[in-house]
Amino acid sequence: MLFKCLFSSLRSLRAQRSNLDVAFDEKRDCRALWARNDDDNFRTLKRHLFNKMYLTRISSSTLGDRKEVRGRGLIRTAMFFNMVLLLSAPAVTANAKIRVVAATADIGAIVTEIGRENVDVTTLLPGKMCPGHCDVNPGMMKKIEQADIVISHEWENWIRGALASTRNKSVHKVPAKTAGNWMIPQINIKAAWEIAGILASVDKVNTVRYRENLGKYIVSINYASSDISRRFRKYAGRNIISSERQKPFIEWLGLNVVSVYGAGGEPDAREIAAAISAGRNTKVALVVDNLQSGPKAGKSIADELKARRIVLTNFPDDNSYVETLRKNAELVERALK
């Protein structure tokens, strides 16, 4: 008799657990309907909730009607609170995207990685162009007018003028504060933290997703950075002449920059003469130009020294930051072999 009673009790508990599992499944289904956020689905949601509240039955057990009533009340209470949670959810839906305008390609690349499916990104200036100079056209102004956020560095005078003349008074105008060359992995990670915070401040609903994407992005940068550092150990200390804009990256690779040129864009005669003199005294292995400053700025220096010359980009191109980082490193490595 004792075993029979225990068996009946276990069967009853299993039935109640099954129904609680159903309740959690219904909660998930309701959230899916709510995420669609249109009138037809909202009516379906209400009908779905109230049908479940009044029609759900727990299978009767040998423990008596009292357990059945208690179980049915539990299900109704769970569904009621589920409805309250859904109706009090923020107005932003899972499918909504925030519209982000990035002034430059380095900002746009990070926004793409951190925001992913939750953002619609427009980069105003392609990575191959010099970001210090830009003629803002009507197409750019239209994107700014439609934006939720505009993120820029603090040194682009052209974007300041565009933002001052926009009629979109609700747009969040956010200058990125991270200083330094964003092609350096450690600096890019710092910038990614900042941009993740900017996105989360405007789109709190997806804060967790932005943090998750940030974590994955940092892992990918650290992996690429470790691989590049390992490969360049054998080239440590090699003498290089570099565009002033590429000096931080070349030094991050562990190479020795003996002279720079083009601090103001195109190198002048004095800079060229100084670079040639330094190159002769130190047996320079390579001359590195910066794409955005003029891809042929160092040609005369390389020709005079009979040294190899390459052109690196200081901003992500059509690829991601990590892909551009690897591409730059491979160009240098190939030239040094």
Tens digit of pLDDT for each residue in 90-144? 444 455 799 999 999 999 999 999 999 999 999 998 888 877 777 788 888 899 8
pLDDT at 264: 67
Q: Beta strand 286-290 with 256-261: parallel, antiparallel or unpaired?
A: unpaired
pLDDT at 76: 52
pLDDT at 125: 86
| Contact between 224 and 325 (Cβ < 8 Å) | yes
At 174 the three-state DSSP class reads: strand
pLDDT at 205: 94
What gap in Å lies between CA 286 and CA 199, rounded to an integer?
41
Q: What percent of the chain has pLDDT over 90?
A: 52
Backbone region of residue 237 per phi and psi (left: phi > 0; alpha: psi in -120 to 50; beta: other values): left
| Contact between 314 and 291 (Cβ < 8 Å) | yes
pLDDT at 29: 44
Q: State the sign of the Cα–Cα–Cα–Cα dihedral 325, 331, 334, 337.
A: negative
Let me know if the fold of 98-228 is the same as that of 232-336.
Answer: yes
Give phi and psi for 93, each to the nearest 5: -95, 165
What gap in Å lies between CA 220 and CA 164, rounded to an integer?
37
Label residues 36-47 b or e (16+ Cβ within 10 Å = b): eeeeeeeeebee
Radius of gyration of the chain (CA): 30
Q: Is the pLDDT of residue 198 over 90?
A: yes
| Contact between 53 and 74 (Cβ < 8 Å) | no
Does residue 92 or residue 178 have the better pLDDT? 178
Mean pLDDT of the chain: 79
pLDDT at 6: 46
Domain boundaries 98-228, corresponding CATH code: 3.40.50.1980
Domain boundaries, the chain: 2-87, 98-228, 232-336
CATH superfamily of the domain spanning 232-336: Nitrogenase molybdenum iron protein domain (3.40.50.1980)
| Contact between 287 and 278 (Cβ < 8 Å) | no
